[in-house]
Amino acid sequence: MKFFIDSAEVAEIQDLASTGLVDGVTTNPSLVAKSGRDFIDVLREICAIVPGPVSAEVTATELPAMLEEGRRLANLAENIVIKTPLTPDGLKACKALSDEGVRVNVTLCFSAAQAILAAKAGAAYVSPFVGRLDDVGSDGLRLIADIVEIYGVYPEFTTEVLVASVRHPIHVVEAARLGADVATLPPGVLRAMFRHPLTDKGLAAFLDDWAKTGQSILNRPEDGATDGSRPARRSA
């Protein structure tokens, strides 16, 4: 499973990308608004940090303006993916842009029927929102299972299932079990995946036991170095 970061906070993205675990980024108008920065500047910076796909959403709702915005955004960097909403005009824009070689992420998917339309429109990704479905009493992960199953029946469907609106690590684990291609995670969810109380407890015990030995891996007298540097090689 690929991990995307769902954020427009450049510093946060840069920090998480340094782990080597980040495959891409998704943004949207709400995330950019929270950053308080210029949309285009933010996208350029993110694309320079993360070589993988960076989703940038159009804000227009009618086809001509969607296409104009999508083409403008796609020209910012080679790794830009255009996000369009799962509406009639959004799917028309997806089809037109995909035919031009632009990758499209069809977002705001809430049903398997919508996901079928996205695949037929040539979407590179479809983004079902699991958390928002859970919020209204539906089963978001059931939708992921349905889409993965349907796409698996039709080899001509190349659309990747990008799990969005992820609220906690269990969403990620269960989506992975179901065979989803991508999960886009808020920074806090990815950080939460690192943590477990038994890991913290075990590390604390190891460090305590090591401290009792009074030893150091780096500063060893026999190495001829006490500043942590490597000793010089001896000549043959």
Q: Each residue of 92-146: pLDDT tens digit?
A: 999 999 999 999 999 999 999 999 999 999 999 999 999 999 999 999 999 999 9
83 is known as an active-site residue: yes
- What pLDDT was estimated at residue 110? 98
pLDDT at residue 76 greater than cutoff 90: yes
Report all structural domains of the chain as residue ranges with CATH numbers, in order of start.
2-194 (3.20.20.70)
pTM assigned to the model = 0.90
DSSP 4-58: EEE---HHHHHHHHTTT---EEE--HHHHHHHTS-HHHHHHHHHHH--S-EEEE-
Question: Which of the residues 83, 120, 201, 212 is marked catalytic?
Answer: 83
CA-nearest of 117, 118, 179 to 148 is 179
- What pLDDT was estimated at residue 227? 56
CA-nearest of 154, 155, 157, 150 to 178 is 150
